[in-house]
Structure 1
Amino acid sequence: MGSLSHPWHQPLTLPISPRPSTRMCSPHCCPPRLLLLLTGTLMPMVHSYGFRNCIEDVKVPFHFRCIQRFLESPAPAVSDLPPHATALNLSYNIMRCLQPSAFARLPQLQTLGLAYNKLETLSPGAFNGLGVLNVLDLSHNQLTTLAEGVFNSLGNLSSLLVQHNPLRTVSPSALLPLVSLRLLSLRGGRLSGLGPVAAAVQGLAQLELLDLCANNLTTLGPGPPLPASLLTLQLCNNSLGELAGGSPEMLSHVKVLDLSYNNISRAEAFTQLDLHNISLLHLMGNPLDVFHLLDISDIRPRNLDFSGLVLGAQGLNKVCLKLQGPQALQRLQLQRNGLKELRSHELESCPVLRELDLSWNRLQQVGCASRLLGKKQWEELEVLTVEHNLLKKLPSCLEAQVLPRLHNISFRFNRILTVGPSAFAYAPALRVLWLNINSLVWLDKQALWGLHNLTELRLDNNLLTDLYGTSFAHLCSLRTLNLRNNRVSVLFAGVFQGLSKLQTLDLGGNNLRHLAAQSLQGLPKLRRLYLDRNRLLEVSSTVFAPVQATLGVLDLQANNLQYISQWLRKPPPFHNLSKLYDLKLQAQQPYGLKMLPHHFFQGLVELQRLSLSRNMLRAIPPDVFEDLGKLRSLTLADSSNGIHDLPDGVFRNLGNLQFLDLENVGLHSLTLEVFGNLSKLKVLRLARNELKTFNDSVASQLPSLRYLDLRKCPLSCTCDNTWLQRWLNNSRVQVVYPYNYTCGSQHNAYIHSFDTRVCFLDLGLYLFAGTAPAVLLLLVVPVVYHRTYWKLKYHWYLLRCWVNQRWRREEKRYLYDGFVSYNSADESWVLQKLVPELERGAFRLCLHHRDFQPGRSIIDNIVDAVYNSRKTVCVVSRNYLRSEWCSLEVQLASYRLLDERRDILVLVLLEDVADAELTTGQGGVIKGSSS
């Protein structure tokens, strides 16, 4: 694997730009150029596909994220990125300024994100080299000015976002290089006038949207006209009281003008401006007489958004009269007008409407919508929106006038408690109904009757506790039913009977504890079922039997599913779901799944995505994934107190797996028996495990791997990881932040650079040199011992005699006159004839049976006897010559004789012994002794 390289591998280098004549970043906010060059020089020159501070998007090549890396300048992030990078996100760092040519290494960059930093200064030429950049995001920084030369070379830029900066000034020529700019956002700054901004953008011939909301604008001028290409100008949330100061033609080309939430009170202020091209004017939140404005200006009523304006008494009637015209009104938006009540036929004087929006008022009831309209509007209304009001109930509308084209109703964000029978009888063509985010506790069994065309129904985030079979009986076209975050605890059999076209059912966030066998009866086309965040204790295959032929997505996360035995007495719960491709089982409560029974996923032959994260799995059988041959994504993350090492063969049938998340599962090792069959794996997440190495044999069996995360693993700097060091520095696999991997607890030593020279010593030579002599010695010693045993023993005793003689050289007195050496076979002669004769002559003899010290070594006794006697008397016979001990005694005496050069040896021959026998006896040392 190490021989393969990424197509964009380049040596790490930093660009050197000439010193500009204009002011650069100050030393306190940018590192000196010399320091940056030294930093680049010290970086290892490797062709690495792992980046110090960035991560490449797995799905979108050349898109890089370098967020939350505490970067003080772009250099540490840019220095090792490939020059073909097209998107770079450096948000959420601590950069204070940008040096010239900070991104020159990335000439193909199209999107650059620098939001949420601490940028105070942009040096002239900061973006040099980015000729194809299309989007630049500088929002949420500390910029106070846009200086001349900052945006040089950005001729292709189309979107510039500088919102939420304390921006006070914009240099008149700062934006001139942006000849392709279409969107400019300066929202949330501290600009005080439109004139200077108009001067800065007047040369932008393609500018279409200018956002100056939430500044400190108090005047429109003085200043030049805005570009003729400008279509949308947003000036909301400022302090504009008068519109004076600007030239009449300043806004002549603007189509959409937002002046919401200013302090404009005089309608006469608009008479000084040319607004004949305005197609939509927002004036919400201004203390303005809107009807007077329409009387004295050239603003057409249908181009004015009446939302948020004080309409006064009979205001709705006046609005409707102003909007009269031969053509139908596409949309009437009356948001935030303080409306509290709408009487019958209140909107009768309005023109024909397609959409009616009454959101953000204080309406407590609207009754049946058709009662608000006149006959001419009944045939045209298509969309009704009454959100963020105070509606408390929806009454029965069985006898109300029908609105044949009304297909979309939204009553979200109200306080609706009950819905009466046939509450929507006036809208038989209804396709989308939103009743979510209310306080609905009672839905009449006949509330939705007659809605045969309804395809989407949202009842989520209410207080419903019971569902009845007849409630949905008429919804034969319904495709999406959302009941999330209610208080449903029981699903009665047949409750969904009749929903023959339902494809998505969301029951998440309820109180379901048990699903009856017939709970899903009547849903032959159900594809997506969400049961997450309930209290389910178990699921069985019989529950899913009615939807087994179509169900593709099943969400069971954050329930109370538990299995305390490895064996299921019943069939596996998903046995019949042969079409299921996405299964979520993560985060079971309160402590997660403890174990998975054998063949738990049997039958899921089409499953592609499986999530088991945030469970405390203590046991995973080797056969648990055996049936998931088509699985492409498996997540087991955050099970650190449970899994530890995986069993051998657990992934053996997952040949199509591409994404595997094992973050924080407590792994101690990677083995071929576990990972050897994942030939198509592309993404492997192993962060926060107990791994000390990444096995090279495992890496060689993952030929498709492209992304590896080993963060916060205690990798060791040992010879076992020398291959890993080479692999990190030259691989086609993106390793997340490879230069941050420390050597276990050694925070100053890194895997990518630890000293590996000791690992390449020829240890074999040293081991051979050390072991060969030992082996030879072990071979020679037995042979020598066998062949020269007596000679070695003789020389050993000679040595001991010599040592003893040296120690006793000064001794002059002897304990005995003679030491008698004889064989036990001759003992009778010695004791009866020799000893009595000698002792009668006043000689003191040393006899072994009488004078040797008991308990002492016999050798020590012999040595002492020889050296403590004046003479050694050897009684020689053939038995004497064949005795080992006798031979030893005579040899010791002979050694003393040779050493002292005195006649101390006396031989007594008991029988005739040839000379040859004397010299070839057991010791072979009698020859030459005195007789």
Structure 2
Amino acid sequence: MYCELISVAILATFLHLGNTYSFRNCIETANSNHTIFKCANHQEKSVKEIVDDVLLSATNVTINFCTLSHIPSGSFSNLPMLEVLTLNHNSVGTISKDAFVNLTYLRTLNLSSNAISYFSPYLFRGLHNLTELFLADNRLANLSQDFFSDLTNLNTLDLHRNRLVNFSAVVQSISKLSALRKLDLSFNNLINLNHSASLPQSLAILYIGNNKLMTLGSSKEFLSSVKVLDLSYNKFLPTSAFNDLNLGSITYLRLRSTNVSVIKLLNSTRINVPPWHIDFSGFGLKTPQSLCKQLSHYPMKHMKQMDLQSNSIQILSSSAFSSCPHITDLLDLSHNDMKSVSCLEFLTGQKHLEKLRVENNHLTKLITCNITKNLSFPSLRELSYRYNRILEVNAFAFSHVPKLTKLQLNINIIAYLDRKALSGLRDLVFLRLDNNLLSDIYAESFEDLHSLKKLIMRNNQIAVIFRNTFLSLRNLNILDLGGNKITHFQDKAFNGLDSLTNLYLDRNRLKEIDSQQLGKFSGTLEVLDLQGNYIRFSKLERLSPFENLTKLIDLKLDGQLPYGINVLPQAFFRGLTSLKSLYLKNNYIAYFSSDIFDDLKNLTLLTLTNSGVGVTKLMPGIFKNLRKLEMLLVENMGIESFSKEVFGNLMGLKVLDLNHNALQTLDVELLENLTNLQYLDLRNSPLSCNCDNQDLQNWTTNNQRVQLVQLYSLTCQDINGSYFYNFDINVCYVKLELYFFASTYTVTILLTLIPLLYVKLYWKLKYSYYVFRSWFGEQWRRLREQEEKCIYDAFISYNSADEKWVMEQLLPNLEGNGSVFRLCLHHRDFEPGRNIVDNIVAAVYNSRKTVCVVSQNFLRSEWCSLEIQMASYRLFHEMQDVLLLVFLESIPERQLSTFHRMRKVMLKKTYLQWPGPDCTDPIKAQGLFWKQLKRALTSSNSTSQEKEWMEADVQRREQRDVASMEEGEYLVNQPQMDEEACYLMP
């Protein structure tokens, strides 16, 4: 049921937010599945403004370090699924009674570190599932009786650092909390524990330290169910305050820095306190003998733990604990004034002790301890001397504790560690020597530590690792040598580390990576930390120092000194086939080759933050093999472009940090293709607020998948005071009026030109189309080759209505009666099944001449018009004299004016007129007609003779005029014929 509600909440969230997945004041934690949000350091005065756009699916919201002063009603009404709400470290002073209404799933509420002095009695009404409530560090002085009455499942209540005075009022307010287990009232102003109601029986942990208690003043059974009671730092609290109190359930009682005398407490018969559960720290017990003497009166032989911190102990005699019950687990002597522990003689008689802490004392030296029966503590497993002033550790310093598994000597000033100091510790598993002044370590130092698994020697002065130093540590898993001064490793320095998985060499002075030394860890090493050294490479290097580390998972090379690595050699990461995390930040690398990461096919985290020099140009394909990469951090790299060639293959990417780069725009299509991307940081990048980014703006405010961090804080670099999410993109679109004007203007022009073009160019365009088709089908070339080998003397173009004249007059006179002409006729010579256009083209180009029999019917025929167009093309464009016009009837000038191609032919060429019935002598005129037509058909197509014909033009014109007058009007010349015109007949 709850899962279904979450799904509904996520769906409702996107509907509520209008599809956006970026937040004004909050950041969703990466990989939290829309549930965890952090909102910090904002100046908004209203909680509603901060969380208004947080997803409805949120279950964990943190709002801290803001300037909030008031939480009004319904502030979280848009977050019904909240389980954890943290409002600490703000300036909240008042909260409306309905501020948390309807948060029925809330389990944890943290209002600590605010300025709250008053709560409405009904503030927590309805929060039945609340289990943890933190109200620490506020100004609460009083609590109403039913203040927490609705919190029936409350387990933890933290009220420390307030101004509470009336303990009885506190008890009344919590008396009905049947599930309450922990109550913290420390650092208040309580004077006594007088009460008018009982504590909940479930209460097991009660902290009342750092108050002003002078008396407990409570009933005998008031604390009978409490198991952990802390009354520390109530400096006026006397021993008598415990008289007649039933503390029989106590498992831990802390009375540090009170006026209670532990001796009197143990001697009193009126105090029912189990002594083995008392923390004896801070009682001023300079010697524990008196304490042990009192404890010996109790019928107990064993104590699990004895805490003697802050008792000003300086010296412990050999019999200090001999009369105490056997301590089985821990003896804590920290925060005292001890200067020596000798060989732990003070533990005489404590043969069962497992853990000893002597931290924060004044120890200066660990002496040699001879092995004797009386000074051997075979049960001791853990020993800690942290935070002392130990300068030297002598040989055999731990011979008396041969079974140690954990030894902590860190945070001292150890400058001398004898080569035999750790001898005999064959069971030691964990050794800390960090934060000392050690300069040399030797093989003898660790020769007995066959069981050691973790060795930490960080922050010392070690300069060289000598050969065979770790030869005996065959079970060592973790070796931490970070923060030293190591410049190199001697040959065989790492011999013996057969099980090493983690090697930390960060912040040393290494100048190169010894591939031969590291190669010894080929089968085991998983973590290698080399950050903060002096490692540099040249472009000439070709061998990878990691080639054999096939099991390495985590590699850190950050911040090489003084100026970074600068150069990554070719194939630098070869062999790291298992690597998952690579850290290269702060290295100022001048150039990244396109194949530098090719071997890292299992990489999931790559950080290159601050690794660029100025403007970094990432080469295309640099991430091509990183298909499993989930997190890419390239902050402050000077990246200028977000291209598919660079980022296109990162299909598994979830987190991309591009903060502080030089990006002015992003490819939205590429962002869409990164299908797993969830988190994108573009802060402090100079995004342009212009038309180049209109798609990016739309994407950032409408995408449902990728969280763009602090989108609403991204400013326009080129427009002061503007924000990227809402810069004006109207200028990027054509105005509607302009669009309509352009459309109507274009339509008007087209409607004007189309008829004109139809009249003037229709046939030319159509002819050109058909010519192109013929050319495309290799018809054109073939026809041109056949021109000199024409099949026909003439192609007769006529309308079917004039077929009678053609068959009865033209055909007998040109092909019959002994004539040698061969004519091409539609119905007789066109190839059956062939396209008619192809037939026309073939007829024109397979004939020496084209004779157009012009009549009214011819002018109305589309196909006849196409035929004369093709013939005239040869006449005007190919300069071939192939066209003859024969008019069967007189056609008025006005009818011919629309046939511009025919008019042009008539202006250039002589045409023949068939003698009509009104002719004076038709028989004679027809004979002359056929004579002239035959002469025209036999004339050459070439225009090479045109010049001669033009010179005789005048004489021929006169002769024709005379013949025309004598023989009839069968030959007509146009009066507009220009000088270049040629007669059909010579």
699, 723, 739: which one pairs with 1:750? 723
Say whether the 8 Å CA contact 1:151–1:175 is kept in structure 2: yes
Query: How far does residue 111 in structure 1 lie from its aligned partner after superposition?
Result: 0.4
CA drift at 1:241: 1.9
From 4, 7, 10, the counterpart of 1:8: 10
Distance 1:621 1:529 in 2: 28
CA distance in 2, matches of 1:536, 1:232: 52
CA contact (8 A) 2:288 2:321 kept: no
Q: 1:567 to 1:771 in 2, by over 3 A?
A: farther
Alignment of 1:802-817 (within 5 A): none
- Deviation for aligned residue 1:491: 0.5
Q: Deviations along 1:45-100, whole A, 9 cap, x unmatched? A: 62211122111111222111111222322212322222221100111111111111
Distance 1:458 1:295 in 2: 42
Residues in 2 aligned to 1:314 and 1:527: alpha-carbon distance in whole angstroms: 45
Matches within 5 A, 1:33-52: 46-52=18-24
SS at match of 2:489: coil
Q: Is the 8 A contact 1:540 1:572 kept in 2?
A: no
Q: Check if 1:579 corresponds to 2:554.
A: no
Identity of aligned residues (%): 39
More displaced 10-residue stretch of structure 1: 615-624 or 486-495: 615-624
1:156 aligns to what SS in structure 2?
coil
Q: Is the 8 A contact 1:9 1:47 kept in 2?
A: no
- Report the Cα distance in structure 1 between the residues aligned to 2:279 and 2:168, rounded to whole angstroms: 26
Deviations 1:407-434 (A, max 9, x none): 1111111111111111111222211111
Q: Does 1:465 align with 2:467?
A: no
Name the aligned partner's letter for residue 651 of structure 2.
S
Match of 2:506 in 1: 532
Q: What is the rounded CA distance, in whole Å, between the counterparts of 2:27 and 2:449 in structure 1?
A: 48
Q: 1:312 to 1:480 in 2, by over 3 A?
A: closer
Corresponding residue of 1:176 = 149
Return the match for 2:403 from 413, 425, 429: 429
Residue in 1 that maps onto 2:121: 148
**SS of equivalent to 2:669:** helix
CA contact (8 A) 2:306 2:331 kept: yes
Shift of the alpha carbon at 1:725? 2.2
In the alignment, is residue 192 of structure 1 matched against residue 165 of structure 2?
Answer: yes
CA distance in 2, matches of 1:324, 1:410: 30
Identify if the C-alpha distance between structure 1 residues 538 and 596 changes in structure 2 by more than 3 Å, giving closer, same or farther.
same
Query: Aligned-pair distance for 1:537?
Result: 1.3
Choose which of 273, 286, 290 in structure 1 pairs with 2:245.
Answer: 273
- Maintained 8 Å contact 2:275/2:295: no
> In structure 2, how many angstroms separate the alpha carbons of the residues matched to 1:232 and 1:182?
11
Q: Residue 609 of structure 1 aligns with which residue?
A: 581
User: Offset of 1:718 from its aligned partner?
Assistant: 2.4
Identify which of 322, 332, 335 aligns with 1:360.
335
Q: Secondary structure of 1:66's partner?
A: strand
Q: Deviations over 1:530-569 (max 9, x none)?
A: 0111121111211212212211100111111123x22216
- Check if 1:759 corresponds to 2:732: yes
Distance 1:286 1:170, change over 3 A: same
Match of 2:65, SS? coil
Aligned residue for 1:226? 199
User: 1:85, 1:108 within 8 Å by CA — same for their partners in 2?
Assistant: yes
1:330 equivalenced with 2:330 (yes/no): no
Contact 2:210–2:233 under 8 Å retained in 1:
yes
Are the aligned partners of 1:223 and 1:247 in contact in 2 as well (CA < 8 Å)?
Answer: no
Distance 1:598 1:322, change over 3 A: same
Mapped contact 1:152–1:177 kept (Cα < 8 A): yes
Q: Do the aligned residues in 1 keep the contact of 2:9 with 2:57 (CA within 8 Å)?
A: no
Report what 2:95 is aligned to: 122
Contact 2:287 2:316 in 1 (8 A): no
Residue 676 (str. 1) matches residue 651 (str. 2): no
Query: 8 Å contact 2:286–2:312 — kept in the other structure?
Result: no
The answer to whether the 8 Å contact 1:456/1:481 transfers is yes
Distance 1:52 1:472, change over 3 A: same
* CA 1:580–1:344: 2 relative to 1, 3 Å: same
Q: Bigger CA drift: 285-294 or 451-460?
A: 285-294
Per-residue Cα deviation, 1:402-460 (whole angstroms, up to 9, x for no partner): 22221111111111111111111122221111110111111111111111111100000
Distance 1:156 1:304 in 2: 35
Within 5 Å, which residues of 2 pair with 1:490-889?
490-563=464-537, 565-568=538-541, 571-639=543-611, 641-642=613-614, 644-728=616-700, 729-761=702-734
Cα drift, residue 266 of structure 1: 2.7
Q: 1:135 and 1:205 mapped to 2: Cα distance?
A: 17
Looking at structure 2, the residues matched to 278 and 218 of structure 1 have their Cα atoms a distance apart, in angstroms, of 22
* Counterpart residue type for residue 249 of structure 1: E
Shift in alpha-carbon separation, 1:312–1:265, aligned structure 2, 3 A: farther
Name 1:412's counterpart in structure 2.
386
Q: Counterpart of 1:358 in structure 2: which amino acid?
A: L
Return the offset for 1:745.
3.6
Secondary structure of 2:57's aligned partner: coil
Mapped to 1, the partners of 2:355 and 2:31 lie a distance apart of 39
Aligned residues of 1:287 and 1:310 also touching (Cα < 8 A): no
How far did 1:767 drift? 8.6
What amino acid is the match of 1:8? Answer: I
Take 1:177 and 1:467, find their aligned partners in 2: how far apart are those partners? 64
- Residue by residue over 1:110-131, the C-alpha shift from the partner in whole angstroms, topping out at 9 and shown as x without a partner, is 1001010001011112111111
1:133-159 per-position Cα deviation (integer Å, ceiling 9, x unaligned): 111111111111233111111111111
Q: 1:7 & 1:263 partners in 2: Cα distance?
A: 53
Q: Would you say 1:448 and 2:422 are equivalent positions?
A: yes
Letter in 1 for 2:10: W
User: Could you tell me how far apart the structure 2 residues matched to 1:462 and 1:443 are?
Assistant: 10
Aligned pair count reads 750
Deviating more after overlay: 418-427 vs 641-650: 641-650
Do residues 134 (structure 1) and 107 (structure 2) align?
yes
* Paired residue secondary structure (1:170): coil
| Residue pair 1:317, 1:347 contacting (<8 A) in 2 also | no
SS in 1 for 2:85: strand
Amino acid at match of 1:636: L
Aligned residue number for residue 347 of structure 1: 321
Q: Which has the higher helix share?
A: 2
Question: Which TM-score applies when normalising by structure 2?
Answer: 0.72
Indicate how the Cα distance of structure 1 residues 322 and 107 shifts in structure 2: closer, same or farther if over 3 A, else same: farther
Q: Decide which of 47, 51, 68 is 1:78's aligned counterpart.
A: 51
Q: What SS does the corresponding residue of 1:724 show, helix, strand or coil?
A: helix
Larger Rg: 1 or 2? 2
| 1-structure distance, mates of 2:370, 2:31 | 53
What SS does structure 2 have at the residue aligned with 1:356? strand
> Unaligned regions of 5+ residues in structure 1, if any?
15-44, 784-912, 924-931
Q: Which moved more, 1:631-640 or 1:761-770?
A: 761-770
Say which SS state the counterpart of residue 61 (structure 2) adopts: strand
**Residues 692, 289 of structure 1: alpha-carbon distance in 2 compared, 3 angstrom cutoff:** same
**CA deviation after TM superposition for structure 1 residue 689, in Å:** 1.0
Q: Distance in 1 between matches of 2:173 and 2:297?
A: 38
What is the CA deviation profile of residues 769-811 of structure 1, one whole-angstrom value per residue up to 9, with x for unaligned ones? 799999x9xxx9xx9xxxxxxxxxxxxxxxxxxxxxxxxxxxx
Question: Residues 597 and 312 from structure 1, CA distance in 2 versus in 1: closer, same or farther, beyond 3 angstroms?
Answer: closer
Cα pair 1:619 1:642 within 8 Å, conserved: no
> Counterparts of 1:890-905 in structure 2 under 5 Å?
none
Instruction: Give the whole-Å Cα distance in 1 for the aligned partners of 2:579 and 2:294.
Output: 57
User: Aligned equivalents of 1:772 and 1:620: distance in 2?
Assistant: 58
Distance change in 2, residues 1:594/1:767 (3 Å): farther
- The separation in 1 between residues aligned to 2:300 and 2:261, in whole angstroms, is 26
- Partners of 2:489 and 2:165 in 1: CA distance: 63
Alpha-carbon RMSD across the aligned residues, in angstroms, is 3.0
Measured in 2, the distance between the counterparts of 1:744 and 1:53 equals: 21
CA offsets, 1:353-387, max 9 Å, x none? 11211111111111222x22334x31x11111111
